[in-house]
Amino acid sequence: MATLRKGSKVYIDCSAGLIAGVVVEMVSQHSSEYTGIQYPTSASVRVTSPSRRGYVRGEIVTRPVSRVVPRECIRRRKYSTRIMRYDVLV
């Protein structure tokens, strides 16, 4: 199973489509009351694809981990794109 971590090549899932990028930093803002473990809730991503629809190459954006997908988790078919399961590491 693919894992989302610092340095991973990813796609940002947004209304403009899938925007290519690289994870610069995992931001953990939530900790469990019961276990005390820090869970990543956001990822800072450097955009690597050419400029399009509000994103500029080299720009760093912060998005929730549910909107940042490792590239190997994308399955493209003729009429659809599917996002497969992946793990998130701090």
- b/e for 38-63, b at 16 or more Cβ within 10 A? eebebbbbebeeeeeeebeeeeebeb
Q: What is this structure's pTM? A: 0.80
Query: Which CATH number is 2-88's, of 1.10.3470, 2.30.30, 3.40.462, 2.30.230?
Result: 2.30.30
Residue type, 29: Q
Domain parsing of the chain, residue ranges: 2-88
Is residue 42 a contact partner of residue 63, using CB atoms and an 8 Å limit? Answer: yes
| pLDDT greater than 80 at residue 36 | no
| pLDDT greater than 90 at residue 22 | yes
